[in-house]
Amino acid sequence: MNFVKEAQVMVQVNMFDCGGIAICVCISHKIADACTMSTFIRNWAGKTNTARCGGSIVIPTRNQNLLIPSFDSAALFPPSEQLPSPPEIPPTPVPKEDSRIEKIVSKRFVLDAVKIKSVRDKLQVLMHDKYKFHRPTRVEVVSALIWKEAMKSSPTGSSSTVYHVVNFRKKIDPPLHDVSFGNISMHKKIKAVFPAITAQKNTANETSSRTSNEVEVLEVLENQLTEFVAQLRGEINKIKGDKGCIEKIYISSVSGYDDFIANISDVKDEALALWMTSWCNFGLYDADFGWGKPIWVTSSDPFIEPGKNKVFLIDTKCGQGREVWVNFEEDDMSKFELHLSEILELF
């Protein structure tokens, strides 16, 4: 691969007869993650909007609370000899000829703000009582829901592996600025166990609108979601420390890239392996190029790389809901869609 001639940023603007505009941006993952991409887009949009309005384009400063990229991560994470050079990074293995051909289906689900809040409120009480944790985040809640329904067909007590993306910026002590430029994120491997939980005896305080069976199902469900959120948060919280500590974690992760690829190719020992990526809370709906804020922001990744068991999360326009793109095998997708609708009806 020629790194000199390879494009680092590509932009395509589509103008439609109806007057709509779609702006597509692609940035090399070698130099940027989703957080950096958001900084780039919002900074670019802000300057473009200023020019369209006839104003002068000024160089923003941090005191103005505007978006100016920071390149301090380059000094914190200099090139390391411990990391494999690009030619040594193994490519994604090609499936064997006798491998079963899988038909991957991509579908979009939208979880509205009211439904997510209902789940968060219920889990908040359980998490505080059992773990003294703060209220679960929207990303944690949605990740737990997706994991639970993906594991529905697996036997109780089965283990699963979740690779969940983690932004390093706030994990470092002292933390990096949100606009720190670079690919400062990684997928954290989390071994999650499908907990065997029995519902407690019904009490007189339960609402008469639910049957005793529905109450038991909901109680078990809430406890399972709480357990997963606790496991997820516990593993991610391990990625904390000073620059040296974080660097060791990062180098260990990248140096083990070949093992990571092997895990993607062979997950026979696991009931399920999920890869979760989140673009939530990056402010992409605030990017106004002068035509108003976008009505929809999403990623083409689920279609460009339609790998099995991939999950992509992003904000809805209001900022409180979550849009979820899921890639599953065709048979698994039909089951997942049914199970997800059933679980959401309980809240």
| Residues marked as catalytic | 29, 288
- The Cα–Cα gap between 181 and 61 comes to 16
In 3D space, the residue among 38, 76, 283, 33 whose CA is nearest the CA of residue 182 turns out to be: 33
- Residue 47 CA to residue 60 CA, distance in Å, equals 10
User: 145 with 171: CB under 8 angstroms?
Assistant: no
Parallel/antiparallel/unpaired status of strands 21-27 and 185-193: unpaired
Residue ranges in the chain assigned as alpha helix (H): 34-52, 73-76, 113-131, 138-150, 212-236, 243-255, 257-265, 301-304, 330-345
Three-state helix/strand/coil letters over 36-71: HHHHHHHHHHHHHHHHHCCCCCCCCCHHHCCCCCEC
Q: How far does Cα 26 stand from its chain's mean position?
A: 18
How many whole angstroms separate alpha carbon 195 and alpha carbon 181? 39
CA distances from 71 to 46, 58, 78, 209, 279 (A): 20, 20, 12, 57, 21
The gap from C-alpha 208 to its chain's centroid, in whole angstroms, comes to: 38
CA distance 125 to 123: 5
Cis bond upstream, residue 174 (ω within 30): yes
User: What's CA 256's distance to the chain center, in Å?
Assistant: 21
For 92, residues 6+ apart whose C-beta sits below 8 A from its C-beta are 261, 264
Question: Does residue 173 contact residue 241 with C-beta atoms inside 8 Å?
Answer: yes
